[in-house]
Amino acid sequence: MEFYDIFKSSPVQKIQFRGHELFLKRDDLLHADFGGNKARKFFGFFLKDLSKYRKLVSYGGNQSNAMVSLAAFARQHNLIFEYFTKPLPIFLKINPVGNLSRALHFGMQLIENEDYTEFVSKTQDDFPIDTIFVKQGGAMPEAEVGVKLLATEIHAFAVENALTELAVVLPSGTGATAVFLQKHLKFKVFTVPNVGDSEYLKKQFTELVSNPDLHPQIWDFPNKKHQFGALYPEYYEIWQELLIDTKVEFELLYDPKTWLILSEKLADFSCPVMYIHSGGIDGNISMIKRYERFATL
Ligand SMILES: *Cc1c(COP(=O)(O)O)cnc(C)c1O
């Protein structure tokens, strides 16, 4: 697959789930290595003149989808890629599976650092001019260009299909994709926090888009506190149900909670609903292994 395939629009298909019909925007099919919303979020970087840069620096979790996209991007553009993360658990050090192994394969230089959180407050100004600094998960103003393109594609789809109303649903991590999408989309965007709680997500929205009228609507479980990356049998169950009923593989970190909440809301909608598949399924390998180990305990 060519790098420039990310300039093409992603397909939309119809799916049935629990008796409801939905549109599914397949952003997971955008590109093999930059698939999903990371392709959207890093699109602005892909357009940059990179000739004056030598190095890319970022930080975050050891199975991050953003990490893989950046590693592939750095490889293609002959940039050194330094990625800071917390010290790896021993089993990963011995056998780096999933996204970690893919990113290392692309030549990523992994730097294990106990207080890598010091990066949270850093900006581009803290780095030399030959270095591009990318915030965790790509939650930064540059992400807007690519997400705006997603909004344009959804508008075009609505026109082609004579839809005057549409509810658009997607999972949130940093919230960057959801908030930039709502800023540019004329339809209502609904999203579910996966990394922090609703308060965290609202704060994230405000940091990137100050006008609250342009923020998506947040859905969450009323009482249940779910921890990002933890295993929940109901997550695996709905993921399997989706796989069987729609023949589409969804992602195991962000999609299950979003689908659990969405499935309860579907009956309330009188307008068509579109779900955005944000990609990241290469990370499933390590999650499936964890769920299998969990099931035998
Ligand atoms: C990164 C990611 C998200 C979260 O995107 P944000 O813009 O950080 O909210 C959701 N789903 C998948 C599959 C991702 O890889």
**Contact call for residues 281 and 243 (beta carbons, < 8 A):** no
**Ligand 1 midpoint to CA 281 (Å):** 11
Q: Please tell me the number of Cα atoms within 13 Å of 28 on its side-chain side.
A: 18
Mutate to test the pocket of ligand 1, among 43, 172, 262 (most ligand atoms within 8 A of CB): 172
pLDDT of residue 297: 65
In sequence order, the 6+-apart residues with CB closer than 8 A to the CB of 229 are 61, 253
Cβ–ligand 1 distance for 172 under 6 Å, the answer yes
**Ligand 1 midpoint to CA 232 (Å):** 19
Equal CATH topology for 3-32+142-295 and 40-139: yes
pLDDT of residue 171: 98
pLDDT of residue 121: 87
Which ligand 1 atom sits closest to the C-alpha of 278?
13
- Share of the chain residues as helix, strand and coil, in percent rounded to the nearest 5: 45, 15, 35
pLDDT of residue 4: 56
Alpha carbon of residue 34 to chain centroid: 11
Q: Cα–Cα distance between 125 and 109 in angstroms, integer?
A: 22
Q: Which of 16-30, 54-68, 189-203, 280-294 has the lowest mean pLDDT?
A: 280-294
Cβ–ligand 1 distance for 34 under 6 Å, the answer no
pLDDT of residue 181: 98
In sequence order, the 6+-apart residues with CB closer than 8 A to the CB of 104 are 71, 96, 110
Average confidence (pLDDT) over 265-285: 94
Which ligand 1 atom sits closest to the C-alpha of 255?
11
pLDDT of residue 1: 43
Cβ–ligand 1 distance for 280 under 6 Å, the answer yes
In sequence order, the 6+-apart residues with CB closer than 8 A to the CB of 212 are 205, 206
pLDDT of residue 283: 85
Q: Cα–Cα distance between 91 and 23 in angstroms, integer?
A: 40
pLDDT of residue 2: 52
**Ligand 1 midpoint to CA 99 (Å):** 14
**Ligand 1 midpoint to CA 192 (Å):** 11
Average confidence (pLDDT) over 3-30: 89
Q: Cα–Cα distance between 37 and 278 in angstroms, integer?
A: 5
Cβ–ligand 1 distance for 173 under 6 Å, the answer yes
Summarised one tens digit per residue, pLDDT across range 27-39 is 999 887 777 899 8
Length of the chain measured in residues: 297
pLDDT of residue 143: 92
Mean pLDDT of the chain: 92
pLDDT of residue 88: 95
pLDDT of residue 138: 87
What CATH architecture applies to the domain 3-32+142-295? 3-Layer(aba) Sandwich (3.40)
Summarised one tens digit per residue, pLDDT across range 128-144 is 999 999 999 888 888 99
**Ligand 1 midpoint to CA 138 (Å):** 9
Average confidence (pLDDT) over 192-212: 96
The residues that bridge with 217 in the sheet, in sequence order, are: 190
Q: Cα–Cα distance between 233 and 231 in angstroms, integer?
A: 7
State the CATH class of domain 40-139: alpha beta
Mutate to test the pocket of ligand 1, among 28, 30, 37 (most ligand atoms within 8 A of CB): 37
pLDDT: is 191 or 295 the higher one? 191
Cβ–ligand 1 distance for 258 under 6 Å, the answer no
- For residue 186, the 8-state DSSP code is S
Mutate to test the pocket of ligand 1, among 278, 284, 286 (most ligand atoms within 8 A of CB): 278
Judged by phi (left if over 0) then psi (alpha if -120 to 50, else beta), residue 167 lies in: beta
Average confidence (pLDDT) over 263-277: 97
**Ligand 1 midpoint to CA 153 (Å):** 19
**Ligand 1 midpoint to CA 97 (Å):** 20
Domain ranges of the chain: 3-32+142-295, 40-139
Instruction: Evaluate if residue 184 carries a pLDDT over 80.
Output: yes
Instruction: Evaluate if residue 116 carries a pLDDT over 90.
Output: no
**Ligand 1 midpoint to CA 226 (Å):** 16
Highest mean pLDDT among 37-46, 220-229, 257-266: 257-266
**Ligand 1 midpoint to CA 218 (Å):** 15
